[in-house]
Amino acid sequence: MDVRLNEEQLMIRETVRDLARDKIAPRAAEIDRTGEFPWDIVDLFRSHDLFALPFPPEYGGLSGSALTLNVAIEAIAKACATSALILAVQALGGYPIMIAGSEEQKQRLLPDLASGKKLCAYALSEPGAGSDPAAMMTRAERHGDEYVITGSKIWITDGGVADTITVFAKTDPNARSAGVSAFVLEDATKLKGFTASTIHGKLGIRGSNTAELQLDEVVVPAGNRLGEEGDGFKIAMQVLDRS
């Protein structure tokens, strides 16, 4: 297996290294000191199409290559960990849609993630369960063409600034990991019953938005479920493997 970088990846690495040196590194200390989310870095990523790296071209992306993405993340992380995490989590939140989304869901959701028009987050961890899906307490109950989701998530990177959030909840509370399903929250901050509380006082990477999410009977269309009921554990494991 040839693991050497190809010509395109080498070019991307050099371009991102220059960008990190000239535009990101000068901001790094201030970002960490103030703990403020760096929207200017988000705009920088948008203008240089960096959010497009993990997504396939047919959905507005550039490559769909995890290696290409990680080449860029590594170059940025040398300058500013907070900035690198923004790019990494955009991919993390989008992976469930790429892995398990229908063609309609991919066409509808992925282009805005690839352009950076919308930020994305990945909501798996819970206060009493960590990242163990089998111990998950968040519930999703089906009512006709909708699901009603109630529960909490913790340590969700970009959870307070993301427009689109992939969230995991149990549709069958008695089935442990086999009862977990995956959903997409669109325009999450506008949803009734959704609250995101930013966690302050971290030891490092302070400019990264880290949030606790509360979902109090949040209504999600059944069309925003990824895969079938009970596919959530499989999706989560595939995402973590890919990340």
Among the listed residues 218, 197, 208, 193, the one whose alpha carbon sits nearest the alpha carbon of residue 157 = 208
Taking each helix axis as running N to C, give the angle between helix 66-77 and helix 81-100, from 0 to 180 degrees, rounded to the nearest 10: 160
What's the mean pLDDT in 103-114?
98
Pick the CATH number of 120-242 from 3.30.9.10, 2.40.110.10, 2.160.10.10, 3.20.20.70: 2.40.110.10
Per-residue model confidence as pLDDT tens digits over 143-163 = 999 999 999 999 999 999 999
pLDDT at 191: 96
The end-to-end CA distance of the chain, in Å, is: 20
SS3 149: strand
With cut-offs at 50, 70 and 90, classify the pLDDT of residue 240.
confident
Per-residue model confidence as pLDDT tens digits over 41-72 = 999 999 999 999 999 999 999 877 888 999 99
**Distance, CA of 98 to CA of 65 (rounded, Å):** 12
What's the mean pLDDT in 118-140?
89
- Which CATH architecture best describes the domain 7-115? Orthogonal Bundle (1.10)
**Domain ranges in the chain?**
7-115, 120-242
The answer to whether the beta carbons of residues 58 and 123 sit under 8 Å apart is no
Q: Is the pLDDT of residue 1 over 60?
A: no
pLDDT at 2: 64
Per-residue model confidence as pLDDT tens digits over 68-108 = 999 999 999 999 999 999 999 999 999 999 999 999 999 99
pTM, two decimals, is 0.92
